[in-house]
Amino acid sequence: MAEKVILTGDRPTGRLHIGHYVGSLRRRVQLQNEGGYKDMFVFIADAQALTDNFDNPEKVRQNVVEVALDYLACGLDPSKVTIFIQSAIPELAELSFYFMNLVTVARLQRNPTVKTEIKMRGFGEGDDAVFGSGLPVGFFTYPISQAADITLFKATMVPVGADQKPMLEQTVEIVRKFNSIYGETLVEPEIVLPQNAASQRLPGTDGKAKMSKSLGNCIYLGTDPLHINVADPGHVEGNAVFTYLDAFCRDEHFGLYWPEYANLDELKAHYTKGGLGDVKCKRFLEKVLNEELEPIRARRKEFEKDIPAVYEMLRKGVDKARETAARTMDEVRKAMKINYFDDKALIEEQSKKYSL
C-alpha cells in the first residue's frame, strides 16, 4: 500500500465560491486536521486556467492571491499543507508531454466534463484559437495535464467535486498504461467525493447545473449572504434554496434559528405540503450560510493585511513541491529509459560494442 498523499487544486479564474467549499475545500481542511498522511498538496492551477484564458493573463495573475487568501481563510494551514503554484513546477509540463503519447484523441473527445465545458465556453469548429472560435489544443488536453498534476506528486486521495470524476478515471487509465509499458512507477489515485449529492455538484444561483466561476452564478465565500439572490420555484426538487440547505444545514441550525422544526426533513415535508413561504426559507438559509461563512470572511480580512506574506508562503510551497516533483521525474525518466547520463549500463554496453 502506498502511503497516503492528498492532492487537489483550483483554477485562479475568480475567488472561491460555496460550491468549492462544499465540493472540496471543507473536506480538505478536515483531512488536513485528521493527519495520518505523508504529504498534502494544494495547488493553484494557473497553467490550466490559461488554457481557456490565454488571452486574459491579467485575470489569472490577479486571482492567484485571491485563491490563496480563500485557502487560508477556510483553514488550510501552510505548516501542514504544501500550497504551491502550478506553473512554477516545470516537471508538470515534462510529464504531460510523455502522457500525451498514452491518450488518444477519441478518448479525450469522450470525456463528458470536457464535452460540457467545450459547449459552455462556446468553442466552435474554427481553426483559429486566438482570433476565431476554435478549440485550443491546450484546453482539449487539460485532462492529460491534470493526470500529470496528480501523479507527479504520487497522490493517493483527491478530494474534489463530481465534475472531476471523468478526470480521475482518465488519470487511472494513464497510470495503468504507463506502469504496464514502463514498469511499476506511478500510483493510482482515488477520488474522494462529498457525502451528499447537493455538495458533489452545487447548482448555480441561476438554477444552472453547476455553480462555476466562469458562469457568474456564484455565491462567493466573501459574499454577505444577506445579498444573495436565488431563483426559487415552489418545490423542493430543483429549488436552489433547498439544495443549498442540503449542502450546509445541520440539525443544530434548527435549534438555533428555527426551533419549530427538528431537522431539514421536517422543513421539507411542511414546505411540500404547502403553507410555508419562500421568504422564510430563504431567511433561514441566510442565517445558516452566515454562520458558516462569517468566520471565513473574518479570517480572510486578517490575511489580507499582509499580502507579501501570502506570496512568501506560496514561494516556500513551490520549493517544497519541486523536491517531490524532481524525485518522481527521476524515476519516470529512468523507467522510460531517457536517463542517458545516469545510465552506466548503457554507456558500458555501447562502449563494449565498439571496442570489439
The span of 13-21, 80-88, 134-142, 263-271 binding ligand ATP (CB under 6 A) equals 13-21
**Among positions 13, 87, 239, 324, the unique one binding ligand ATP when judged by CB under 6 A:** 13
Query: Minimal distance in Å, beta carbon 199 to ligand ATP?
Result: 6
Q: Is 171 in the site for ligand ATP (CB under 6 A)?
A: no
Sign, Cα dihedral of 235, 236, 238, 239: positive
Query: Minimal distance in Å, beta carbon 49 to ligand ATP?
Result: 7
The answer to whether 165 touches 214, Cβ cutoff 8 Å, is no
Give 296-301's long-range contacts (Cβ < 8 A, gap of 24+): 296/73, 296/74, 296/221, 297/73, 297/221, 297/222, 297/224, 299/72, 299/73, 299/75, 300/69, 300/70, 300/72, 300/73, 300/221, 300/222
Query: Minimal distance in Å, beta carbon 75 to ligand ATP?
Result: 16
Q: Is 66 in the site for ligand ATP (CB under 6 A)?
A: no
Distance CA 89, CA 167 (A): 20
Question: What are the φ and ψ backbone dihedral angles of 195, each rounded to 5 degrees?
Answer: -65, -45
The span of 4-12, 34-42, 83-91, 314-322 binding ligand ATP (CB under 6 A) equals 4-12
The span of 158-166, 177-185, 318-326, 344-352 binding ligand ATP (CB under 6 A) equals 158-166
Q: Is 28 in the site for ligand ATP (CB under 6 A)?
A: no
Ranges within 190-229 binding ligand ATP (CB under 6 A): 201-202, 210-214
**Among positions 7, 23, 66, 254, the unique one binding ligand ATP when judged by CB under 6 A:** 23
**Joined grid coordinates for residue 21:** 467549499
**Among positions 7, 15, 20, 245, the unique one binding ligand ATP when judged by CB under 6 A:** 20
Residue owning grid cell 419549530: 260
DSSP characters for 271-291? Answer: HHHS---HHHHHHHHHHHHHH
Query: Minimal distance in Å, beta carbon 64 to ligand ATP?
Result: 12
Q: How far apart, in Å, are the Cα atoms of 143 and each of 104, 124, 163, 177, 338?
A: 12, 19, 12, 15, 24
Q: Is 282 in the site for ligand ATP (CB under 6 A)?
A: no
Cα angle 131-135-141, degrees, rounded to a multiple of 5: 135
By beta-carbon distance, which residue lies closest to ligand ATP?
23
The span of 5-13, 32-40, 96-104, 178-186 binding ligand ATP (CB under 6 A) equals 5-13
The span of 12-20, 135-143, 248-256, 322-330 binding ligand ATP (CB under 6 A) equals 12-20
Q: Give the list of residues 6+ apart from residue 131 with CB closer than 8 angstroms, or none.
A: none
Alpha helices in 137-277 (DSSP H): 137-140, 142-152, 165-182, 197-200, 240-248, 251-257, 264-273
Query: Minimal distance in Å, beta carbon 63 to ligand ATP?
Result: 9
Query: Minimal distance in Å, beta carbon 244 to ligand ATP?
Result: 11
The answer to whether 82 touches 39, Cβ cutoff 8 Å, is yes
Q: Is 42 in the site for ligand ATP (CB under 6 A)?
A: no
Distance CA 235, CA 239 (A): 6
Q: Is 26 in the site for ligand ATP (CB under 6 A)?
A: no
Q: How far apart, in Å, are the Cα atoms of 167 and each of 16, 31, 313, 353?
A: 20, 21, 28, 46
**Among positions 160, 289, 329, 332, the unique one binding ligand ATP when judged by CB under 6 A:** 160
Query: Minimal distance in Å, beta carbon 180 to ligand ATP?
Result: 28
Q: Which residues bind ligand ATP (CB under 6 A)?
A: 8, 10-11, 13, 19-20, 23-24, 160-161, 163-164, 201-202, 210-214
